[in-house]
Structure 1
Amino acid sequence: MSLVAYGFIQVRVVQPAQPVAIVGEDEILTSEFQGRVRLAQWNLTNQYTNVQQIMRILRDDPETLSIYQSQLTNIGQQLANPLFVGSSILDLLIDEQLIQQEAARRGMEVSEAEVDNFIEESLGFFGEQETATPAAAVDGTPSPTVTPYTRQLFENNLEAYLTNAGAFGVDEGTLRSEARARMFRELLRADFEDQVDGTQEQVWARHILVEEEQEAKDLLDRIRAGEEWGDLASEFSLDESNKEQGGDLGWFGRGRMVDAFEEAVFGAEIGEIVGPVETPFGWHLIDILGHEDRELDEASFRLAVSQALDEWIAGARETADVEILDYWVDRVPSPRIRSSG
């Protein structure tokens, strides 16, 4: 056998069947790992292109443009660092394996038909939709007819999607595997809902954010001297999202603010002004307006459930028998389409 033939067999036959990690008794194969890395790289490339297009539209708005430039730089750095993407995907695959093992213990299953339906809905197809006869306008002119999203149109879109994915080395099996993993995660997340308390300790606070500590101290002196908090927040706070509302942050629970801010507010009494408190954003004065256990709204409850699942995954990672093979770094594929600009 020639060296060329041997190398071909190694890369195309032997290596794909070798594991890059073993979770308990389950192997994460090189083929699955490489497919998911390519999928991540494809998604990043699409994001890069989309941000570039937005920046062309916003070229006359320097302030907003700088925000998107930061996003573009971040995406470009990820595309230029395959090992970073590979490491992130390997961690994700290990988490997914732990989730699927736990789902199996709980008797959860995902059928191929359910995966089909998930992919259809991901592409905006929710079954054949009947279209109503367009009503005539007052002047007798019929309103425009909406083109129905038929199964044939969906099949055409799916074929185009798979073709684009295939050009990047992502096959349908990888897309289905990723969809199945997302479905198992959602099933387990939903199962955690019964384990999460629907109430949560929350604080209602308002703040004034400034750049320098001394400025915060000076404002605190003015507040204690009787000046109105709302007036000072409107004039001096750097937080544009709420300065005109006196810096009102509303009610929030733990995990919503950066650590230093959270520690300060949850350790304070109602009516107390805390600060100056330093965070990565600057220096804060914080007025505690309320502190009580409150029922979570739907969004906060979903966040609490997701946090509970994340904590479970972190605990499972610590106790699980996970082996990562050193050669995984050699199995990371480089992006087939590199960013430009």
Structure 2
Amino acid sequence: MSKAAKRREARREVVGPTKKQIRLSRREAQQRRLILLFTVVVAVLVVGILGFGLLNEQVIKPRQPVAIADGEEISTAAFQARVRFARLNLIAQLRNIYQQAQDPQLQAIFQSYMQGLLNQLNDPTQVGRDVLNQMIDEVLIRHEANRRGITVSAAEVQERLEQQFGFYRHGTPTPTATATATITPTATATPLVTNTPTLTPTPLPSPTGTLTPTATLAPTAVITQTATPFPTFTPFPTPTVVTEEGFKELLAQQLELWRSINFTEADYRKLVEAELYDERLREVFNRDVPTREDHIMGAWMAFETEEGAKAVLDRLSQGEPFDKLAGEVRARTIVSATTGELPWTPVVDLAPRFGDEVQQAVSSTAAGQHTNIIAGSGNLWYIFNITGHEERDLDPQTLRQRQNDHFQQWLDDQRSTKVQFMDYWESRVPQDPAVPLDLVNAIQSAQPALPQEFPTPLPQQTP
């Protein structure tokens, strides 16, 4: 190669890429950087969205309130734990009742009760609503108790907790006749502490339809659950008193069972504390309820037509005894009428059965007299014969009913002014634990009893 050719070759090696090649190279590098940046941004967004979703579900949402009672928030986490705890106990009650229903004499009674429990469990929103109302009541009661100087110590909670599991640190109490049952677990028990059920008045039925003579009728009242939705069922006797070690073993078994629903010992202790606050505040409210009321005793006749009532009133005015005319009603000599006896009854309890006009007329009628014709409930005309009228002590059942009505009225007033529900609370209601399918099938097909594989609930306290 000549010297000139060598110099040209050397110049080509020194010159390098052309301007066009440089532009293309830079453009490609810029595109690679943009692609890399876009990939990083997308990855960050994806991770951020997933991270926020996880943060929202695990941290933010559990801390959000589902309701605010008297300024105190009820968190989603606490609410969901209580709903799961309630569902677990409802399932346990269902299983216990199923076991008892294997007695042919009781099967028909228990079948409708079991179906009611199944319907309740199949309505998660209603279970959630009842639990949330209960939690709200607990807050209102605790706040009011604290305002009145009522407190519950950790030692008192511990003692009640031990008693619920059958351990009495200071000796077994002597049994007494009382309407309050101690919550006591068995080796596989699932304790359930709820607000004390309240006694609500049951309106006495008004005669309706075709009237026929009746036997002596007396006012009645039944215990119904108002603060809590969950039915109470006590199929087994109270277990033998346990030792301290036995108590610890039972508690450990319960904690292991509750771990599956994220219900902790602290959660249960709050339930026990709420129970104690409820009892003590009720004691204070009970002192405000009068123990004596105006009572009447006698008998009544009710007529489908005002003319029929006038005919009997005319005979009473002529001196015929009330008992004689009531006997004719029972014998159907006097038709389109019915009669009944009235044992000692608080005057204020007449209105739900007979109507306000009857209550007002009877309250001003002295013993030994009969009323005029009174237009009462059910489009009926009444005549009352009063054989006793005086102020008397309320019987224990009626007094408890009055006390619970008084307390419930206070709670209702508090709820109307101090409670706020979050719009999203229904979406936070859990639907687990579900009723075991084999239990559902067994109940619906009335198969033989299942093995003891479901938790046993504890009897709830009653007033």
The reply to whether residue 333 of structure 1 matches residue 426 of structure 2 is no
Structure 1, gaps ≥5 residues long = 131-145, 233-245
The reply to whether residue 124 of structure 1 matches residue 217 of structure 2 is no
Partner of 2:183: none
Coordinate RMSD, CA, aligned: 4.0
Partner of 2:151: 109
TM-score when normalising by structure 2: 0.54
The one-letter code sitting in structure 2 at the alignment partner of 1:47 is Q
CA drift at 1:169: 4.0
Aligned CA distance change for structure 1 residues 254 and 120 (closer, same or farther; 3 Å): farther
Higher deviation after alignment, 102-111 or 287-296: 287-296
Residues 207 and 249 in structure 1, CA contact (< 8 A), matched pair in contact too: no
The one-letter code sitting in structure 2 at the alignment partner of 1:38 is R
Residues 300 and 341 in structure 2, CA contact (< 8 A), matched pair in contact too: yes
Partner of 1:165: 258
Higher deviation after alignment, 246-255 or 300-309: 246-255
Aligned CA distance change for structure 1 residues 83 and 229 (closer, same or farther; 3 Å): farther
Aligned CA distance change for structure 1 residues 87 and 148 (closer, same or farther; 3 Å): closer
Aligned CA distance change for structure 1 residues 285 and 51 (closer, same or farther; 3 Å): farther
Residues 193 and 305 in structure 1, CA contact (< 8 A), matched pair in contact too: yes
TM-score when normalising by structure 1: 0.72
Partner of 1:295: 393
Larger Rg over CA atoms: 2
The reply to whether residue 74 of structure 1 matches residue 167 of structure 2 is no
Deviations 1:248-304 (A, max 9, x none): 66545756x89344747634536569899559xxxx998765443321244433332
The reply to whether residue 51 of structure 1 matches residue 78 of structure 2 is no
Cα distance in structure 2, aligned partners of 1:296 and 1:162: 44
Residues 205 and 251 in structure 1, CA contact (< 8 A), matched pair in contact too: no
Structure 2, gaps ≥5 residues long = 1-46, 173-238, 313-321, 332-339, 444-463
Same amino acid, percent of matched pairs: 29
Cα distance in structure 2, aligned partners of 1:40 and 1:287: 51
Residues 206 and 248 in structure 1, CA contact (< 8 A), matched pair in contact too: yes
| 2:58 aligned to which of 1, 12, 15 | 12
Aligned CA distance change for structure 1 residues 262 and 152 (closer, same or farther; 3 Å): farther
CA drift at 1:205: 6.2
The reply to whether residue 28 of structure 1 matches residue 74 of structure 2 is yes
CA drift at 1:84: 0.4
Higher deviation after alignment, 306-315 or 286-295: 286-295
Deviations 1:98-124 (A, max 9, x none): 212211211221111111112222223
Residues 140 and 414 in structure 2, CA contact (< 8 A), matched pair in contact too: yes
Cα distance in structure 2, aligned partners of 1:253 and 1:67: 35
Deviations 1:125-168 (A, max 9, x none): 222649xxxxxxxxxxxxxxx97621112222222233333344
Residues 79 and 335 in structure 1, CA contact (< 8 A), matched pair in contact too: no
Residues 203 and 266 in structure 1, CA contact (< 8 A), matched pair in contact too: no
The one-letter code sitting in structure 1 at the alignment partner of 2:150 is M
Cα distance in structure 2, aligned partners of 1:196 and 1:275: 31
Residues 357 and 376 in structure 2, CA contact (< 8 A), matched pair in contact too: no
